[in-house]
Each structure stands twice: as C-alpha cells, then as structure tokens.
Amino acid sequence: MNQKFALTWAKWFLVLILFFFYFNAFCQSAFVENKGQWNKNVQFKYSLPTGSLFAEENGVTFNLVNTNDIKISKSHHAYKNSAIPKYIRFHAYKMSFLNAKPTNPIGSEAYSDYENYYIGKNSSQWASKVQRYKRITWNNIYKNVDYTLYINENNALQYDFIVKPGGIAEDIRLKYEGQDTLLLDKSGNVVLITSVAKINELKPYAYQIIQGKKVDVKCNFLIRGNNLAFQFPNGYDEQYTLVIDPVLVFSSY
C-alpha cells in the first residue's frame, strides 16, 4: 500500500472514530445542569421522548408534548401539500415532595463531554461548559431518605427512594398537580393521564441488602386524592437500608 495513501486513510479513519464518539456522546440521555440558560428555579433538565423533565428544589416538573403534532409539523416541511397543525399541544404537571426539607438536587456520574448555550444576544443567557450527568440526587429530602433519578441500563428513566437506618419510608408523600387523572391499575401500577401523553409508574420493586444477601420487600403504591405514598404489607427491617425502585414509562397518544 502506498505510504501516503495509508497515512491519509489512517487520518480519515481517526476522524470517523472521533465523529462517532462525539455523536454517540450527545445521543446519550443526560441530566443537564442549569448555568443560567434556563429559569432560575430549574436545577437540571432531562430530555424525554415526549418532552422535558425539569428538576427543581422540591420536586420535578414534566412538560410533555403531543408527538403527533410534531410529526405533522415535520412532514409539512418535507411535503408542501401536507396539513399544518394550528398549534403544538403541550401539557405540564408537577410532582413535589410533601412535608419535605427544601433540597436542591446534586449531579453525579458526570459524562466527559459538555454543552454550550448561546441563546440570542443577551449574554446573561449564555452558558459554557455545561456539565451532563447520568444521575441526580436530592439528599435527605426526608430525614435519612434520599431521592435519586437516573438512567438505567435500558436507557429508561428510573427513580429510587433510599431509606437509610433511622429514616421512615412512610414519611414519603408525593403530591401531583396538573394531570387529568391519577389512578392505580389492576396490576398495581400508577397511571397518570394528561391531554397529550400517558405515564406509567410500574409497581415498585423494593429490597434490602441484609448480611450480604438481597432480600425482596413487598411494596405497593397507595393513592389518596392527588397524593402518592408507599405501603409495606409485611414491613421491612429498619436496621438496614431500604431501596424503593419504580420505573417510569412515557407513551404518547
């Protein structure tokens, strides 16, 4: 092989590797910190397939979009004769921690890359080297209870309540505002319905590590009005950390 050709090919191969690495990094789901590019009450933003999640001091706001409106809007740009939606429908709802200590989430498991935001001509809305994280945690949102949001191995959004010794799982109360419907289905999953999407919180899996072994703990959701709690029919060992582990599933209409 010609040496000059080999060197040129090697350079292009390196460029391709770097390109795919860079592209893959920005395709990864992440919690993006707020360095002034968004409203002050937002600590982190996470992009959902159906909208956005905003992590705040004492809860989370979900801003969901009707994905069919987006698809129609995109198809109009591709095909001039296609129908244009008069508007794109959004629906926001909020989940907040009832009777909790005001706590800001903290990012962990940072990605090596970062983002830059230069929004308009107002430099106060510019932000550089904005860090991206795999996990955010509200520490001691209740006494000896942490709440963490993270991306699991299936790239799905998941949350855990971590109840350490001295914490009380029954203290956890989640208040939902802005949804159309909040209910439990026959399988024990939470079903939250908005005008643009349906969200399922799968029946929680709870466990403890006792003397090096994982011990399953029976756990159910409990809904009272717009408030969500957890109940443990068989109790749990309060000497050991308890992990409550539901999964969030978002689906559009």
Alpha helices in 49-104 (DSSP H): 67-78
User: For the chain, what is the mean pLDDT?
Assistant: 84
Task: Write the pLDDT tens digit of every residue in 34-57.
Answer: 998 889 999 999 998 889 999 999
- The terminus-to-terminus CA distance of the chain in angstroms comes to 57
**Could you tell me the two tokens for 211?**
């003397």
Give the rounded distance of the alpha carbon of 7 from its chain centre: 44
Comparing 89 with 226, which gets the higher pLDDT? 226
**Integer Cα distance of 229 and 242 in angstroms:** 15
Task: Write the pLDDT tens digit of every residue in 9-29.
Answer: 444 433 333 333 333 344 468
Order of strands across the sheet that contains 190-193: 181-184, 190-193, 197-201, 248-252
**pTM higher than 0.85 for the full model?**
no
| Alpha-carbon distance values, 122 to 34, 119, 127 (Å) | 16, 7, 11
The per-residue pLDDT for 14 is 38
Q: Are 216 and 207 in contact (CB under 8 A)?
A: yes
Alpha helices in the chain (DSSP H): 3-27, 67-78
**Integer Cα distance of 243 and 39 in angstroms:** 32
Beta strand spans in the chain (E): 31-33, 44-48, 51-56, 59-65, 90-97, 106-117, 127-142, 145-151, 157-163, 174-177, 181-184, 190-193, 197-201, 205-210, 213-217, 220-224, 227-231, 242-245, 248-252
Task: Write the pLDDT tens digit of every residue in 128-153.
Answer: 889 999 999 999 999 999 999 998 88
Parallel/antiparallel/unpaired status of strands 190-193 and 174-177: unpaired
Task: Write the pLDDT tens digit of every residue in 172-194.
Answer: 999 999 999 999 999 999 999 99
Phi and psi angles of residue 180, each rounded to the nearest 5 degrees, phi first: -85, -40
CA nearest neighbour of 96 among 62, 139, 63, 59:
59
